[in-house]
Every structure is written in C-alpha cells, then in structure tokens.
Chain A
Amino acid sequence: EAGVVQSPRYKIIEKKQPVAFWCNPISGHNTLYWYRQNLGQGPELLIRYENEEAVDDSQLPKDRFSAERLKGVDSTLKIQPAELGDSAVYLCASSGLQWNYGYTFGSGTRLTVV
C-alpha cells in the first residue's frame, strides 16, 4: 500500500503568485482532508471531502483558497494569490468509513512564501 502521496514536497514562491498542491489518498478511502500546520502548532482542518463533496470547508479562506476532488479520488488545493502568512506545511490525510480509527497522513508540502 503506497500510503497518502503528496506533491510537491517543497515549494518556494513569491507573494502574490499562485501555487497548487496535489494529493492522492489511500485507495478506497472515501474521506479526504486538507490540513494546514503552522510552525510550532498542530494541524488545523481546512476542508474535508466525502467522495466528491466538500462537507466541511468552514475554515478554508475562500477569498484565496480553493480545492477540488474530481471523481472522488485525487485532490488539489490551490492558493491564489499567496501571502506571506500562508507559509506552512499543508498536509493531506484520508480515512475509510471508520474514521474514528484514525486518519492516514501524507508527508506534507512545505510552502515558503517570500
């Protein structure tokens, strides 16, 4: 089993530029999550998908962030335009029907906005 795959691992961009992150969850996991982890803090949920549907996006800054999960498998998280405060690690996770058994996380994308 490949696990949750994220790319790229690292990204450095200038402020006001766009950036996109990609995630491939574990095969068969219908729930996908995007988390943001600021330096020295725990992860915070940005958005949760059940198959193709975004069921919790209350913490997603919708003025500049967008996400999609076409066909209920891979997902892309986009920021446009990026700001200095967006520098963080963006984590993708997935879970099966028994989410309370825990999420499986990817290695994350470390974004640096300069």
Chain B
Amino acid sequence: AQSVTQLDSQVPVFEEAPVELRCNYSSSVSVYLFWYVQYPNQGLQLLLKYLSGSTLVESINGFEAEFNKSQTSFHLRKPSVHISDTAEYFCAAALYNFNKFYFGSGTKLNVKP
C-alpha cells in the first residue's frame, strides 16, 4: 500500500531563515505529489503539486518542492520564512491514474520572530 512519511513532526525556525520540510513516499510506480497547508481551525489548502515534467515546482508565496524519484522524496523548501508561514504542512501522494490521496502525518512549522 501507498504510504507517505513526514520525518519531522515539528520544525521551529526563526523568521527570515531558510526551512526544509521533508517528505518521503513509498511507491514503485508513478505518483502525483502534493503539499497542503493547514492554518489553525481551517481546512487544507493546496500549496503546490507535481504531476509530471520539471521536477522543481513552485508556489505563489515562495515555497518550492523538488521531486526526486531515486530517493522517493518531495521535500518542501523556502529560502526565507515569514511569521505568517506558521502552519501545519501535509505531504500527500496519489498513484498515477488512481484517485486516492495518501497523506503524511504533518509537520508543524513554527516561525519565531
């Protein structure tokens, strides 16, 4: 079965510092990969996705993620975080052509001033 592992449950970081949130998936077949963000008491919002093509994908607010097939990873990065980036981030995977998302357990990003 498909599984998604987020290695860090919490990541504290100071404002304007870089951050990387790690995500690994288990699959021997092609997958679609996603990052969602969840602010307190809100639903999940799609941050970015990898479907095919360029392995580096970007969001409108400065996050980027790189698909690495050999390491089965899809780590999320931002070169300089803001206080407003404080939220929980979920990585998700879906098998190619099969509509079922598998979510990781989430990483809480806490940006300190």
Interface pair B43/A44, CB less than 8 Å apart: no
Interface pair B104/A42, CB less than 8 Å apart: yes
Give the CA-CA distance A106 to B44 in the complex, in Å: 8
Residues of A at the B interface (CB closer than 8 Å) are 4, 31, 40-45, 48, 56, 91, 93, 95, 99-108
- B83 contacts A by Cβ under 8 Å: no
Q: Is the interface of A mostly helix, strand, loop or mixed?
A: mixed
Chain B contact residue count (CB 8 A cutoff) = 24
Interface pair A100/B32, CB less than 8 Å apart: yes
> B41 — which chain A residues lie within 8 A by C-beta?
107
For the complex of A and B, the 7 pairs showing the least CB-CB separation, nearest first, are A42-B103, A105-B43, A102-B46, A105-B44, A107-B43, A99-B99, A100-B32
Interface pair A43/B44, CB less than 8 Å apart: yes
**CB contact under 8 A between A42 and B99, given known A100-B94, A105-B43:** no
> B46 — which chain A residues lie within 8 A by C-beta?
102-104
**CB contact under 8 A between A56 and B43, given known A42-B4, A100-B94, A102-B49:** no
Interface pair A101/B44, CB less than 8 Å apart: no
24 A–B pairs (Cβ distance < 8 Å), ordered by A: A31-B99, A41-B105, A42-B4, A42-B6, A42-B92, A42-B103, A43-B44, A43-B90, A44-B103, A48-B100, A56-B100, A93-B43, A93-B44, A95-B99, A99-B99, A100-B32, A100-B49, A101-B51, A103-B101, A104-B46, A105-B44, A107-B41, A107-B43, A108-B43
Give the CA-CA distance A105 to B42 in the complex, in Å: 9
* Proximity bits, B69-113, A CB within 8 Å = 1, else 0: 000000000000000000000101010000111011110000000
Give the CA-CA distance A56 to B32 in the complex, in Å: 19
Interface pair B106/A42, CB less than 8 Å apart: yes
Give the CA-CA distance A104 to B51 in the complex, in Å: 17
> A106 — which chain B residues lie within 8 A by C-beta?
43
